[in-house]
Structures are given as structure tokens and as C-alpha cells.
A and B are shown apart, each in its own frame.
Chain A
Amino acid sequence: MSKKDLGLLILILVVGAVVTAINPRFLSAINLANTSNLVALFGILSIGQAFVIITGGIELSVGSLIALLGTLFIDFIAVRELDWPLAFVVIIVLGAVIGFVHGWLITRLKLQPFVVTLCGLLIYRGVARFYTADGTAGFAFGQNFPTLEFLTAGRSYGLPNSFIALIVIAIVMWVVLHRSVFGRYLYAIGKNEEAAKYSGIRTGRIIIAAYVICGVLTALSAIYFAMYTRSISPASHGQFYELYAIAAAVLGGFSLRGGEGSLVGVILGTVLLQELQNLVNLLGIPSSLNFAVMGGVILIGVLVDQQWGVFRARRRMIEATRQNVAGAPAE
């Protein structure tokens, strides 16, 4: 765990302690279970976003994808009555295909990630609304999918199954990002794509793979969100979720220029964001202030981190000068 991650963890614990002191319900089993479920849902899509950000890219269409894929998933199993495992696979494959198309447009046609995924954001939201004729996708009365519901919204040993899924995904993705050949390529590309190319790395393929991973994880979280809300109005479902994901990554120490960040960091970033949301609810802060609180905390976090760096550099300089001044007469 890096120093940055450790600092973030301490911040999470301090905020948690303060909230508990004011409202002890923060630590109640039901609140922890709910919060950890949300951490899981946002965590999965934030990990996907992190893989894209590490290459120096960005994926803005996440929120719209959550709406489109969630709508499709519910439509497949509730209206078209597909077997849910089949629908599950179709949705994941769709996520992968969309990720691939984004990556392809970015690497082969040299479009900017911001532009490609901004268009995605608009297109998928529009398609989702058109698909339901601006209605709501949901289950009919009495429709039950016991296994699916258990896996997505159920609990084992008091832990939400979604949270267990997040832990498994996080461990796997940690290995991929921090220990695998692919992960090393991602960092190398994020640091300096040109130099990576000159070292014989097929940078295009690696970047496409990052977008595919993001698409798959987004699709997975889309299913989780769909089963969590159980009814989707595509006009608002998943709105701004890409920003939650980007915020989690930035809080977790990722640089939007690429090449920097850790998986632990993005998970901690997600935890902090959800803790803040929770804080707004528990402390009776008007929920309309929700975004303002989040924005404020991210701004302060980034500022402190940056100023800390400046402070340390300055201290080092003062130290060096002092040594010089002290050393000069002695000579």
C-alpha cells in the first residue's frame, strides 16, 4: 500500500469516526450492508474506468451504458423471457463490443477518447430512451429470479454478495494491473505511449483491451444496478455515474495524464465517495447538497495532495540552503 493509499484510508476512518460520533447509526449493520453494496456497484465500474485512465484515456459513456445495458437486461429477462444466464452473457458481450468499438475508434482512427466517449454518452442514453419509448423497464408483478436475485442483491454471512463480487474482481484486477505483463504495458503506455511503441509494444491492442475491460466491468455493474433498482427509467438511470468513477480514480491517486494510480487507490476512492453520500443522509444535510459536498471534498483532497508535494519540495530546499549557510564559514 502506497503512502497515498494510506493517507486516503486514514481520511476514510477519520470521516467515519466523526460521522459515528454525531450519528451512531453509521455503524449499524443495515447501514454498513447498504453502503458496502453501493461501494461494490460503483467499485466495479470505477475499476473499469481506472484501466482506461491508466492509459491516459477517459470513458465518459459509462453512465449511459449503465442505463442502456440495464434496460436491455431487464427487457431480455422480464419481457422477452430469455434465460437469465443467456441474457447475462449477451449483456457482457455487448459491453465488450462497445468497449472494443471505442478503443478501435481511438487507436485506429486516432479520435480523442474524450470525443469518442462523449458521443457514446449521448448515443447510448438516446437509444435507451428510444428503446423503452421513454417509459420504464421493470419486472411484472410476481416475476422472480431467485438465483439471480441471490447473486446480485442477496447476502452471505451478512455480507452483500455484490461486495464479495467486488472483492474477487478487485483481487483479480489487482494482479492484472500490478503483476501481469499486460498491466506493465498499460503503465508504460500511460507514461509514454511513443516510447512504449518504440519498445515493440503493440500499443493499439493494449489500449483497445483497456476499453474492452472497462466495457465488460461496466456491463457487469449495469446488471447489478438493474437488479438493485429493479426498475429503470432510462432518462435518469445511471446519470453522472462516469463522474463518480472518474472521481473515485482521481481521489485514489490516478493521474488523468495516465501512467499513475493503484487498484487499492480506486477502491478506497469509491469507499470515500460512498461514505460522503452516506454522511449527507445521516447528518441530515439537504440531499440537494450531495454533489456539492462530493465536489468540495475532491477539490480539497486534490489540493492537499498537491500542496503537500510543494511543501515537501520547499522544505528540502530550505534544508539544503541551511546546510550551505552553516557550512560556508566552517571551510
Chain B
Amino acid sequence: MAHRLLSGAMTSTDTNHPDTAPFLSLEAVRKTYPGVVALDRFSMEVRPGEVIGLVGENGAGKSTLMKILGGVTWPDSGTITVDGVAHDGLTVEQSIGSGIAFVHQELNLFENLDVAANIFFGREPLRAGPLKLVDRARLREMVAPLLKRVGANFSADAPVASLSLAQQQMVEIAKALSIRARLVILDEPTSSLPMAETEKLLDVIKGLKAQGISVIFISHRLHEIERVADRVVVLRDGTLAGTLAKDRINHDEMVRLMIGRMLKEREKAGEATRAPGSVALSADAIRTSTYPDRPVSLELRRAEILGLAGLVGSGRTELARVLFGIDERLGGSVTLDGKPLNVGSAADAVANGIFLVPEDRKLTGILLDLSIAQNISLPNLPAHARRSLVSAGAELATAEKQKKNLGIKAPSVLTRTGTLSGGNQQKVVLAKWLAMNPKVMILDEPTRGIDIGAKAEIYGLMRALADAGVAVLMISSDMEEVIGVSDRIAVMHEGQISGILDKEDFSQENVLLLAVGKKPKLLQAAGGVE
């Protein structure tokens, strides 16, 4: 019992609902893995109808906490109290049975089935008789109120594949409600959502709250937390860095607790130290297979970070894929340093110094099964070989150098990249290109799912690249990032560049207006639009 007395002193007492008993409370929870203390002396409580924002850098212990709440792993010590019943740890059955539901970043839906089938998958109401046919009418009756509760604007028989990401998340939440969830844990639900969709999701969270359901909302997007959370719990290095009551929730305070110090320039790559140079890469009326009738023209200048904003599906990634030679260019022309350039494959692009940090890190950015060193040398393997035989020495030397330069946190360069955190994996992707000589660097959502500390480092790297004369194109759906990092912002709308903003016209409003195809409000009437 000693640990309980000890932890009592550490439990946060400033809550908005002093009368209601907490639905869930953790006391002095500790969890260690071989060589790492993942969670230590961690205490928190969740009251009915409370929205808790849970923030912390990657590796701060959020995933461990989630695993403990989900019953996937047991804490070494500490107490978990659910509905007044104390446990040493939860089993998966206890977790589900007590109404704790998860909506993960990667959705667990069957895209080929409809909404209703997904929500009651494995629990379908059956008709009487030996054939065990699904009672479709009854299923619809059961699904309808759930969809209403999440404020769904789609029908129960819509195929999941036809829904947007936010709508799919609503299906997941409806699924959680169908098992009488009392606490819904949303793990970075917005990280892959475009702006408009994010709004919908935040509304759903408010709706849950109104129904007395508790929510733990994990996100790296702090402004979203600011908007919906009643209380913010900040994790740092496995311990509780602090709890912020509603009136004290603000961006700077959260960041301060997360990293233990104030960021001087928050989420900024720093100002350009030199004027943009000559045009490095110029695309003239090129067309992609997604929008074959929409020509795109774009100029990337040396020593400049050009932000490419727009809604998801506006054709930004497709443009990047064409420039990098993955997709076929359907028309138009591309010049590099004023000379015509014909890129027929990614290999051609790489040979010309045009590099891409792709959107999907795990699928296309790195090979998870290869080591850090093998990933870094892969695009430039012949330079690490003598007479076509790979020189392990040269390979390790390059990797060690990049590991040091980029601050990749790993036991060694021989570590499998699959075991690294998202931020470190992204650094490996960057490292393989930085080890060569980039002329044009295209980054597609470079900080998605990456913690704040690593984000700042990646912004710094992008600025350093630009300062070294590289033309940087950054595709991003994170508004703060686009505005904070870019020197100019190009916005795409339905396959076309709808406008280009210069620094003095940067504002969330202008980017959004262009993203939906409207005219921005410019300082000078003759601004850079069409």
C-alpha cells in the first residue's frame, strides 16, 4: 500500500468536476521495458464527460499508456481504478468490458463492406432459422441512432471505401459507441485529415462530451487540443510533466511542458538568410494522370522554401510524383537549371539531384527491414562500392556521419529502421538524400506524425538546405507549418495552382480561400495571383 500513499500526493487535484467520481484513475503507474523506463509515477484521472488532451513528444510514453489502458500490457506497479474498482492492471477483456474504446490512427475498417456491416461486424443481428442470415432491417435500426450520435452525414449502407477519412473515423467512433463506450481514446485522429475534415471530427468530440462520454484526445496538433480539451495532460520522458486546467491551456504552455523549455521560434524554420536565387526547377504546363486536363506550372527557386498547400486530393502529391519520375508526365515540359529535363523514372530524378521525401514514410520512404546504414546508402550504393562489391566500411562511414549530423537517435547505424520512432525514421529518409548532393528537394508532408522536437529539427534542416542553395518544395496540410516555414506559398485547388502567396500575404485565411478556389485578400491588388 506504500505506493498508494506516496502517489496520493502527486495526483492532480485541480479538476472542473470536484463532485463527480472519476470514471478512470491511474495512480503511480510504472512500466519498464528492458533498459527503458517507459512510464514512471504516472497518475491521472478521467471524469465522465471530460475531454482530456494528451500530448507529449514521441517516446514520451503515450503509446505505453495506451497499451496499459487497452489491456495489452500490464504495468509493473501502480493502480488503475475503473468505476471505483481498483486493479493492478487491465486485461483486454476488462478494458473492453468497462467501456474503454480506441480509435487508432490507422483505421480498422473493411473498405469493401458498408457502414452498418462495419459497425456491427461479428455481432450482426441474425434472423431466426438455421441459416443464420443477417437481419438487415434490424441492423439498420441499430445503426441509425449511433450514426445520429456521431452526427454522421452519410447513410448506413454507404460503402466505407466511398467515405472520406473523417467520415471513416466517425464510423470507428460509432463502433465504439455500439459497445457502450464510456471512454473513447482517439490516437492522432487528425494527423491525416485535411483542414475541413478536422472541423467535423472536433465537432464529434464535442458531441461525445455532451453525451457524458469521456474522451482522451492524443494529437500533435496543439491548436486542436486548445479548442476541445477540458484539461491537458502532458507527458515527458515517461513522467507527468504537468496538467493544465481549461483556463491555462495554450500553445506555448503545452510546448514548454512537453520539451521542458520555451521554444524560441515556435514551429518555424527560421527566416531565410539570403534572397532566393535563380530558378532551379521549372515545370511548364505539366499534367498528371489524376487531373489530365489541368496543366500545372510552377517555378522552384534556389535557396527558397516553397510551401505547397491545398486540400487533400488537390493534386499536390501527384505533382510531386511526376516531378520525381514515379508517375508519367502527360504533357508540358520541365527544365532544370534552364536545361530541358526528361525524367522517366525516379532513378533519372535522383541522377539529376531531384530528391523526394515521400508522404508515406513506411511504405515508400524507407525499407523497414533494412538497417539505418543500408537505407542511407541505397540510392547511392555504387559510390559505396568497389568493383560492384559493397564496401561495408564506406557504408558505415557515411551512415555514422549522417547519424551524427541529423541527430538520429538509435543504438547503432546497424539498427533496423523499423524499430525507430517516426521522427527518427523521417531523419533516415532525409539522411539518404543529404548524403548526396540535392539540387531540388521535395518533401511531402515531412512532419506528419512526428513529435514537436523532431519537427523543429526537420524545419531547421529544410532551412539549412535552402541556405545552402537547394530549392525546397514542401507539401503540407498543416496550416501553421506552411505559414511558419515557407518563403512563398503555392496553393493547389482541384489539380491546378490557384495562387501563389508572397510572405506579406501569408495568412490562414488566404491559404484557405485559395485552397477552396476563391480569391485571397492581398495587400497589393496586383499580387501574385494568376
Interface residues in chain A, defined as those with a beta carbon under 8 Å from any beta carbon in chain B: 175, 179-182, 184-185, 187-188, 191-192, 194-202, 259, 321, 324, 327-328, 331
Contact = CB atoms under 8 A, between A and B. Distances in A.
A69 B365 CA distance: 43
A182 B385 CA distance: 11
Interface in B375-402: 375, 378-379, 381-382, 385, 388-390
B389 A191 contact: no
Given A184-B381, A194-B364, A179 B77 contact: no
Contacts of B388: 180-182
B336 interface: no
B326 interface: yes
- Chain B contact-residue range equals 35 or more
Contacts of B350: 199-200
Nearest to A321: B74
A121 to B, nearest CB: 31
B390 A184 contact: yes
Interface centre among A188, A199, A202, A321 (most CB of B within 10 A): A199
B349 A259 contact: no
Given A181-B388, A192-B363, A328 B378 contact: no
A305 B521 CA distance: 66
A259 B418 CA distance: 15
Given A182-B388, A188-B367, A200 B351 contact: yes
Given A200-B347, A328-B76, 4 more contacts: A181-B390, A194-B364, A195-B366, A197-B326
Given A181-B390, A331-B76, A198 B364 contact: yes
B346 interface: yes
B356 A198 contact: yes
Interface of B: 3, 30, 74-77, 88, 324, 326, 345-347, 349-351, 356, 358, 363-370, 374-375, 378-379, 381-382, 385, 388-390, 432
B379 A199 contact: yes
A327 B77 contact: yes
A201 B74 CA distance: 44
Nearest to B88: A328
Chain A: interface secondary structure? Answer: helix
Contacts of A191: 367-370
A324 B167 CA distance: 40
A202 B364 CA distance: 15
B30 A331 contact: yes
Contacts of B389: 175, 179-181
A179 B390 contact: yes
23 contacts: A181-B388, A184-B378, A187-B370, A191-B368, A192-B363, A192-B367, A192-B368, A195-B367, A197-B326, A197-B346, A198-B356, A199-B367, A199-B375, A199-B432, A200-B346, A200-B350, A201-B347, A202-B347, A324-B74, A324-B75, A324-B76, A327-B77, A331-B30
A259 B375 CA distance: 15
Nearest to A179: B389
